[in-house]
Structure formats: C-alpha cells, structure tokens
Chain A
C-alpha cells in the first residue's frame, strides 16, 4: 500500500508538489464571487483558503465546480459556515455538515480549509473529493470534514467561491472582505 502524505498550503504560498494556477493566490475583496476558470494540468485539483471572511453577516462560504465550462447550480461543496452561539459544543456545530441554520458572522470571523478533487479532469464519470477545515465563530472554532463524488462525464475545469445562506446553493450578493484563496494542481 502506498501512503501519500499531503500538507495543506499555507496562506499566500504553494505547498510541495502543488503547482499554483496562474492568478493564485487571490485575495478577493469587494466582490461576491471568485471564479477560477480554464483550470488544467496535473491529476488533482487542490484549493486552500485562509482567513476568508464575508462583509455581510449570516453567510456561509461555498465552492462549486465548473464542468465543461459551465458553473452549474447543483454540485455544491460547503466550505465553511459561521454559526451563532460561540462556545456551543462541537456536537452542535458538527450538524452543519448536514444542515445549517441560525448562521451569524462578525467582522473577526474567518474560515480556512482545503479542498482536494482527485482526477478532476477525468471523463470517466467519477471524481471524488474531500473538503475540510475550520470556521472561527467568535471564540469558537468549528471544524468540518466530509467527502463525496462528482458524477459527470465531463472534466471539471473551474472553481467558484461564493457566499450563501443556510448552506444552500443560491448565490448571495455578499462580498468577500478578507482572506486568501490558493488554487493549484498536483500530479
């Protein structure tokens, strides 16, 4: 068995074995979404985000892929949320991976995380992913990790980072106001 150890990227820099795409890192501010388009090369698509924050309260950071040049409306990855009630037990927060409610956010709240999509350009239908990280909600840290599979016979060729409420897919006109997003590929 071969075990590959992957070290997530630090803010503003690339990690070993990862080739940043042109335009990465990005430090978005004053825009509601960030689209990385025309991604190609390597086998795996790797994104990391650190210190990312929204100027509007009650928002969750989301990521969705572009498939065959189109940002679809259904393939959504929940990247982080800002839950109310800092100090609540981790158990209460963990439920956000299945359901989100009562989101809240203050200026100091940020989120960080990592997304890996394996064989993202594959046209053999299955492209599995894992996403993990944390959101800072006041005095609390919310950790999350989950995985899944995209099922599509076209390649993934882009990533859109945007804000939503409740963890659903409707994009909100809410702007980034801090943070760094890295996108790269690895063999």
Chain B
C-alpha cells in the first residue's frame, strides 16, 4: 500500500513537471495562433458568425432598440445579448411564442437568424450573409 502511494505521488509530481513543459510549449503555439490577430479576428475565431451578426445588429439599430429574435440557435441570444447591450433582445422560444410576441407590437425590430418568415406590419431593412459559412439573417423594422 505504501509503495503504491509512493508511486502515485511520484507520478503526480512527474505529471506536474510534464504540465509545466507542455504549457510552455503551448504558449509558443498560442502566440502563433492568437497574438497577431486583431480584436475582431479573435472574437470571430471564438464566436464565429454570431459575433458578426451581433455587429450587424449594432450597426442597424439604435442603442435603446427593443428587438425580437427568432433563431433555433440558443447561442445567438446569449452572444447577441452580450455584444449588443444596451439593446434589449427578447428571444422567441418557438414559432407559437414568436407569433404571440409579435402580436404584442412592443418590438420595433424583428430579427431572424438562420430562419425565414414573412411578417405583417414590418419591412426588411437589412440582410446578413456570412462571409465564411452558410449562416444568414434578416432584420425587420416596424412600419
């Protein structure tokens, strides 16, 4: 039992030193991978089109805009909310929820991400097309 414990403990120390070496080596590859990227490129690398779409939203709406979002990608709401604050985004859970919310007429903008739908009382003001993937989005404004 003692011997096994001694062995495990020694292994732990060895793994610790291995981690130091591994992390030092990784630091070099991380420099190559991240250091020379611009802020935009870094965020795009982490969040992909979701970040671009958030910038698109910031570009086409006012700071205090109330926006209804329809997307099956749950990340879109999270990332969008973080990058577009103080804009107020409300996500629709599904199609029925979307129809219920749109009838309330409290949203100046309606946003579709990777979804298509026609809605009365709104007009399309901008269209987003991904540079690198097949993602797309449309922004509608209340007439």
Do A and B associate with each other?
A: no
User: B: which residues have CB within 8 A of A?
Assistant: none
User: A: which residues have CB within 8 A of B?
Assistant: none
